[in-house]
Chain A
Amino acid sequence: MIDSCCRIIMRRNSVAFLISACVALAATACSGDSQLDRGAGAGSATLPAQDAHPSGPDSSGLPAEGALSRVPIGDLAGANDNTLETTVKSPYAGNAAAIAEGHELFEKMNCAACHGYGMKGGMGPDLTDSYWRYGGAPADIYKSIFEGRPQGMPSWGRALTPTLIWKIVAYIETKGGAVSAVAADRERQGDESESDTTAGSTMKGRNSAP
């Protein structure tokens, strides 16, 4: 188990640090975790069968990649009753052990260096407010981590397993910035929440020092 986990990570980054990171990750993430399938990162052949509206986490406890692939980044033209992404639940939401692992990963994988140890932003955006360029529902956050985003967010889909990414999502959710799938849906259609004071700012969060 440890071997397979670390091979996945080291494929991309054969750097000395990651050997120690792998040991750390193995202790937390790989033990007792049989769900290491690579989803889209390993090619579409491994995708599970897709339902039109998947009903929730698959048999391994995680949402099907097929469901995630249909969570849109932008608006859904003409969809006045879009419930697609509300069916993708965050599998570790509220799970204290998973959140602790997510916290550790958030710092070890350098998420904190960009987004801040308190997630208040830096090189990367604030994750504690309600404005999300690419959506703030758990499935949106998962996809942003997995796929990367155009302004420098690396794609972690090949370095981290879905399980580990979902644990990071669970940790991000604890900081209050993540929004419910319903709210995310509303934002996507232009009806942003009243508390949002930073909508439209793609510049926010760039407040780190040289």
Chain B
Amino acid sequence: MKITAIIAISFVLLACGNREDAGRVTADEPRPRDARVNNVEALSGSWLPPGAGAGDWAMPSRDYAGTRYSPLTEITTANAGQMQLAWTFQDGQSSYGHEMTPLVADSTMYIVSPFPDRAFALDLTKPGAPLKWSYSPNPSPIAIGKACCDAVLRGAALYKKKLIYNLLDDHTVAVDAKTGKELWRTKLGNVEDGATMTMAPLVVDGRVYVGNSGGEMGVAGWFAALDVNSGKELWRAYSVGPDSLARIGADFHPFYSWMRGKDLGATTWPTNAWKRGAGAPWGWVTYDPDRHSIYYGTSNTGPWNEAQRPGLNLWTSGVFARRASDGMAQWAFVFTPHNEWDYDGVNENILADLPINGVVRKVMVQFNRNGFAYTIDRATGEVLQAKPFGHENWASGIDSVTGMPHVIPAKETVPPGRWVRDICPADVGVKDFEPSAYSPRTRLFYVTTQNICMDYKGREASYIAGTPYWGAQMTRHVGPGGNYGEFIAFDAATGRKVWGIPEPFMTYSGAMVTAGDVAFYGTVDGWFRAVNARTGEILWSRKLGSGIISAPMSYIAPDGHQYVAIATGVGGGAMTTSSQKGFPPRGDTYYVFTLGANIPSTPARGGATPPASSATGAMP
């Protein structure tokens, strides 16, 4: 409450004409922390991890609604072009894909690397942000070869002075954020059987929510809650199997009738096929503190070869709403029943209040792999809006009565063993895991999209533990227009694209948008861009050392100024286009930018007064 009051006062000051001066701050004007914040529209209080200030970024999406919206206002559409490099960091450990988001709290930046899943704490109070500590969990290298799509890690969560994240070899760890000492480590699966863990946990009310990966390895997907103090597993909910395993009980009320019934997670499959049916929750988790509900998606159906699993294959390729406390399901929705194309349902479910047909509804919005943007009533699971947000040709639309896709027969992959040409999108989807952003100021969603199609042939898959249970052969090609990527602004209330920036390479980074109405994204060929969130005008671009598949974030440093951080290091699903001419090498560098005026013209040396002779060198 106190923080809110300070922020409100700050906003009044900013509103009285100070905002335009944001770029011209000099070192002799000390700025209180959180001075440049517009928190009027931003979520606060119980929508943020406990203790997180307006200038912090304590979880990958910043808030529990998953908006990736920063209330900071120093960087604006007017001055974003003046951003300069402040400092860089290399994790030096891993050239696998960097899909994480840096975190900031307590004047410290926290970074977790891809395999070998190391953690780093950087001291933001000192010039150049030197290393405070590093932590090496030493996961098993077996995990590298069990991860379908690169030995990636999507980030960590900060919660009450703990840094919590998953290791590729199926462990969750908690590390003392101050010292880097391991507090607990919990084993959740058997990596030798093909399961891995790559997602970023969400932590609410003392519970750590995690899920497995392995949709191509014949796993049964599960989602678990751990005690944040002990690491002890509290409950586990499977995405497949009978209701007892799926934690479906009397309080389960799916909106659509075809999802109602007993043990549908087992009976919509051939006998026992659900045990290898995937539905791994390897994406993002969001939380509604008013409803005390969590929302997360389930992966593709296993194996890809649909002939081996006739049926609707619930609850894969869908989304669950569960009670946060005990994990009991409240509703579910399956985007792509009997999924034949690897269209996972794991993408972020961003919670927002949107005016739909003149009435403000509490919704979740998911930009699904299958190319449709779903706006869903998050209390009931009713689909309010489902429109394409990029190029797709496998379905003519989503049925307004059943919520099911109208599949175009020519794009069915049944029977297997023959090539089906030009299915759009390809397996990587119109959008993959890379998280979108939502601005309550513009009421628009900012989404990196893919324009890739595939030729596909179903193949018989054999289940052998620890090897792929896949069952598909495919080639991919660029879609209409020849641009592999496009960054778009989308109105999820009306299902309409507002503007788009086509990119020659994939856009596979996460997005961020700020109260300065600046949206940020990166490209697979390494361009990091700031754009006007209302018009799509590119305000600023920098070419970084490798491709960008991580998500940007913004924070206020101890000097009182706004900074923007991004990791580079191409990999993951972006490697589907690695044969494209000009595709960059891998990397492992983190870049931090701020307005050029905020960067001292004379580099300080550990806080000491620099010698006069070095005073002439200007920073770039």
Binding site for B on A (CB under 8 A): 13, 15-18, 21, 107-110, 112-114, 117, 123-124, 149-154, 159, 203, 206-210
Contacts and interface: CB of A to CB of B under 8 A. Distances in A.
Contacts of B342: 209-210
Contact of A150 (B141, B148, B571): B141
B149 A18 contact: no
B218 to A, nearest CB: 10
B96 A113 contact: no
A124 B145 contact: yes
B4 interface: no
A21 B464 CA distance: 10
The B interface is mostly helix, strand or loop, or mixed, namely loop
A21 B215 CA distance: 22
B427 A209 contact: yes
Interface in B450-466: 459, 461-466
Given A110-B469, A123-B468, A209-B428, 12 more contacts: A13-B465, A17-B463, A107-B459, A109-B462, A113-B461, A123-B216, A150-B141, A151-B145, A208-B149, A209-B426, A210-B344, A210-B573
B170 interface: no
Given A208-B149, A209-B427, A113 B433 contact: no
B586 A114 contact: no
Contacts of A210: 148-149, 215, 342, 344, 427-428, 432-433, 572-573
Contact of A21 (B462, B474, B578): B462
Contact of A153 (B145, B344, B428): B145
Contact of B149 (A109, A110, A203, A209): A209
A209 B459 contact: no
Nearest to B571: A206
A186 to B, nearest CB: 27
Contact of A151 (B142, B470, B575): B142
B95 interface: yes
B148 A108 contact: no
Given A113-B468, A113-B470, A123-B145, A207 B575 contact: yes
Interface of B: 95-96, 141-150, 215-216, 342, 344, 426-428, 432-433, 459, 461-471, 473-474, 476, 571-573, 575-576, 578, 586
B145 A209 contact: no
Contacts of B476: 209
Contact of B578 (A124, A151, A207): A207
Closest 8 CB pairs of A and B: A152-B145, A113-B468, A110-B467, A207-B575, A151-B144, A113-B470, A209-B427, A210-B149
Nearest to A153: B145
Contacts of B145: 114, 123-124, 149, 151-153
A4 B470 CA distance: 29
Contact of A108 (B427, B462, B575): B462
A149 B427 CA distance: 29
Given A151-B145, A152-B144, A152-B146, A209 B573 contact: yes
Contact of B465 (A15, A203, A206): A15
A210 B342 CA distance: 8
Contacts of B468: 110, 113-114, 123
A15 B464 CA distance: 8
A209 B463 contact: no
A17 B464 contact: yes
A15 B476 CA distance: 33
Given A107-B459, A203-B95, A208 B148 contact: yes
B149 A17 contact: no
A183 to B, nearest CB: 26
A47 B410 CA distance: 57
B575 A206 contact: yes
14 contacts: A15-B464, A15-B465, A108-B462, A109-B464, A113-B469, A114-B145, A123-B145, A123-B147, A123-B468, A152-B141, A152-B145, A154-B467, A209-B148, A210-B432
A207 B571 CA distance: 8
Nearest to A17: B463
Contacts of B462: 17-18, 21, 108-110
Contacts of A15: 463-465
A153 B141 CA distance: 10
A208 B95 CA distance: 16
Chain A CB within 10 Å — which of B344, B462, B468, B571 has the most? B462
A13 to B, nearest CB: 6
A123 B467 CA distance: 10
A98 B142 CA distance: 31
Contacts of A209: 148-149, 342, 426-428, 474, 476, 573, 576
A95 B464 CA distance: 28
Contacts of B428: 209-210
Contacts of A154: 466-467
A210 B148 CA distance: 6
Contacts of A159: 464
Residue of B148, B459, B476 with most chain A CB atoms under a 10 A cut-off: B148
A208 B97 CA distance: 13
B448 to A, nearest CB: 15
Contacts of B586: 203
B128 to A, nearest CB: 29
Nearest to A124: B145
Contacts of A110: 461-462, 464, 467-470
B574 to A, nearest CB: 9
A15 B469 CA distance: 13
Most buried by B among A107, A109, A113, A150: A113
Contacts of B427: 209-210
Contacts of A117: 459, 473
Contacts of A207: 575-576, 578
A151 B191 CA distance: 11
Contacts of B432: 210
B462 to A, nearest CB: 5
A154 B217 CA distance: 13
A206 to B, nearest CB: 5
Contacts of B215: 210
Most buried by B among A15, A109, A208: A208
B57 to A, nearest CB: 26
Given A117-B473, A124-B145, A203 B464 contact: no
Nearest to A114: B468
A117 B432 CA distance: 24
Nearest to A107: B459
A207 B474 CA distance: 12
A18 B147 CA distance: 23
A18 B464 contact: yes
Contacts of A13: 464-465
Contacts of B576: 207-209
Contacts of A16: 463
